[in-house]
Amino acid sequence: MGQTITEKIFSEHVGHDVFAGEIIRSNIDMVIGNDITTPISIKAFEDGGFEKLANPDGFSIVLDHFIPAKDIASANQARISRDFAMKHDLKHFFDEKDMGIEHALLPEKGLVVPGDVIIGADSHTCTHGALGAFSTGMGSTDISFGMITGGNWFKVPEAIKVVFSGKPGKYITGKDLILEVIRILGVDGALYKTLEFTGDSIPFLTMDDRFSLCNMAIEAGAKNGIIAYDEITKEFLDTRPSLRSEPKIFYSDEDAAYCQVLEIDVAALEPVIAYPFLPSNGHSVSTAVNDNIKVDQVFIGSCTNGRLSDFKTACEILEGKKVARHVRLILTPGTQKILRDATKAGYIDALVDAGAVVSNPTCGACLGGYMGILGDNEVCISTTNRNFVGRMGSRSSKIYLSNTAVAAASAISGYITDPSSL
């Protein structure tokens, strides 16, 4: 019987063939924590009387949600992680000195590689499946168990095979593909399953597109999203200054078992807009334009769409134009390197000239943390991954999710806009 990529990764880690439904204990290659979740893991670790990490070089802490600290509580929260990192002389600890959003920063640093088993106390840890790794979110006490033992327990997930066909149109990105998947499946249609993304559209997707695609697998309830290693993956890895380990490359067998096959014609797809209050509430950009939706704020950033290509796209649309008078445009790079590269390329000057404000790398506005909170009844179009009630501020505010091109075009007109109309 054939195996999926995910089954093969787990099989390699446990030393024998495993299949969907089995309960296994697997070693973990990288455990990821952040400034919100890590203090809980540290408390469990220290309350248990443990003094040494099982695999210190396989543990990363990235301070990204409230950094620089927005208040006393967040400052104290970050200090717990800093003190722990200093005490254990952590090699992979990142704060203001080399900051970034964890799911953008760790691939940039070469700390996640194909064939890894990765866990993080953040639901969007599934982002790293774009590199052909098994990567999933877990709770803080599960992270503590990984810190203590170097492994954890898993139920091997069943897989849904998503087959994308056709060449994407000019303004169709990985964000549109995953919003379409979530629209079809719903927010729990892939509950505890693998979303394995395949098809002849995949070679047209940049690495940034793939990160966006896998990032939002959790929004369909999936345990992980994954894309097989190919030339695009290789090119990305070859540009890393170093890799934590040698990639282990796996491909699904032709006779691998899938619980569902979903086929999507990408060539026929319009940009997808997720209306409030669920990522599954997807509509075409044409519908959104007809609905004449006025926006108060545009946010471009997050672990979903805060990469260099997003700044390039925003710049191409906004350069020489102005943000509508009643609109606030906030851009947040995923890492310091992305910010520097965008500056060198001239994107930052052009975007600021257009009326944007550019923040430091942070999760910030995405989770309603700070630097972009929405007030009562305000409307935002955002490149983030969630649009739940109160997600970015007031419970009466509304969030529409879109790709970067739609968001940038909307900043100019002040209404949700099809970028192809500009």
Write down the pLDDT at residue 214. 98
Write down the pLDDT at residue 304. 95
Count CB atoms within 10 A of the CB of residue 357: 14
Homologous superfamily assigned to 275-421: Aconitase, domain 3 (3.30.499.10)
DSSP of 248-275: ------TTB--SEEEEEEGGGPPPEEE-
Write down the pLDDT at residue 1. 85
What is the C-alpha separation between 396 and 278, in angstroms, rounded? 15
Average pLDDT rounded to a whole number, residues 245-249: 94
CA dihedral for 173, 313, 354, 360, sign (positive or negative): positive
Average pLDDT rounded to a whole number, residues 215-240: 96
| 49 φψ region: left (φ > 0), alpha (ψ -120 to 50), beta (else) | left
**C-alpha closest to that of 236 among 112, 60, 123:** 112
Is 90 exceeded by the pLDDT of residue 369?
A: no
Write down the pLDDT at residue 97. 86
Write down the pLDDT at residue 142. 95
Is 90 exceeded by the pLDDT of residue 333?
A: yes
Percentage, residues of the chain above pLDDT 90? 95
Is 90 exceeded by the pLDDT of residue 325?
A: yes
Write down the pLDDT at residue 37. 93
Q: Taking the complete model, does pTM exceed 0.85, yes or no?
A: yes
Q: Tell me the pLDDT band of 353, cut-offs 50, 70 and 90.
A: very high
Helix (H), strand (E) counts: the chain? 14, 18
Write down the pLDDT at residue 422. 87
Average pLDDT rounded to a whole number, residues 396-411: 98
Average pLDDT rounded to a whole number, residues 98-112: 95
Give per-residue pLDDT as tens, 190-214. Answer: 999 999 999 999 999 999 999 999 9
What is the C-alpha separation between 56 and 387, in angstroms, rounded? 36
* Sequence-distant (≥ 6) Cβ neighbours of residue 129 within 8 angstroms: 135, 214, 217, 224, 225, 226, 227
**C-alpha closest to that of 373 among 339, 396, 356:** 396
Q: Tell me the pLDDT band of 126, cut-offs 50, 70 and 90.
A: very high
What is the C-alpha separation between 316 and 50, in angstroms, rounded? 52
DSSP of 399-410: EEE--HHHHHHH
Give the chain's mean pLDDT. Answer: 96
Give per-residue pLDDT as tens, 171-184. Answer: 999 999 999 999 99
Write down the pLDDT at residue 241. 86
Average pLDDT rounded to a whole number, residues 84-94: 95
Write down the pLDDT at residue 96. 87
Answer whether 5-264 and 275-421 agree in fold: yes
Q: Which CATH architecture has domain 5-264?
A: 2-Layer Sandwich (3.30)
Give per-residue pLDDT as tens, 3-50. Answer: 999 999 999 999 999 999 999 999 999 999 999 999 999 999 999 999
* Domain extents in the chain: 5-264, 275-421
For 128, half-sphere exposure in the C-beta direction (CA atoms, 13 angstrom radius) is 32
Helices (H), 262-346: 285-290, 302-305, 308-318, 336-344
Residue 323 near residue 411, CB atoms below 8 Å: yes
Q: Give the H or E element holding residue 201.
A: none
